[in-house]
Amino acid sequence: MPNAINDIAEPHASFVQSSLQGSLGQTHLASNPVECRHAIAQLPDDDIADLIHEIVFVILAIVMIVITLVRPRTKPIEYPTSRIDTRVHPQSYIFGSLIIAATVALYIIFW
């Protein structure tokens, strides 16, 4: 028959143990790949995905820095320019304001 006090205390003990491993075991995990792999295997799937994204980001940043240091560009990049007129027509402000006012009025009426 299970002991109710041990059932309650057991999750807390594992939490304390895992938090101690987290705070004390950073350098130990880095020096011991077997324990590091075991610790990663215990992470939830979302944390593993985040860890993989962080590792890939760091690797890509290092590669870009190395490429820049080894072979920098001789001249700056010149981006193409367009002849399309990108100015906003003044009526757009008027009609946009009318749409926002109508939306606010409908919220007030039907709330």
What is the C-alpha separation between 72 and 32, in angstroms, rounded? Answer: 38
What is the C-alpha separation between 93 and 58, in angstroms, rounded? Answer: 44
The burial of 106, by beta-carbon neighbours within 10 Å (0-12 exposed, 13-18 middle, 19 or more buried), is given as exposed
pLDDT tens digits for 44-77? 666 777 888 889 999 999 999 999 999 998 998 8
- Give me the pLDDT at residue 68, please: 92
Give this prediction's pTM.
Answer: 0.38
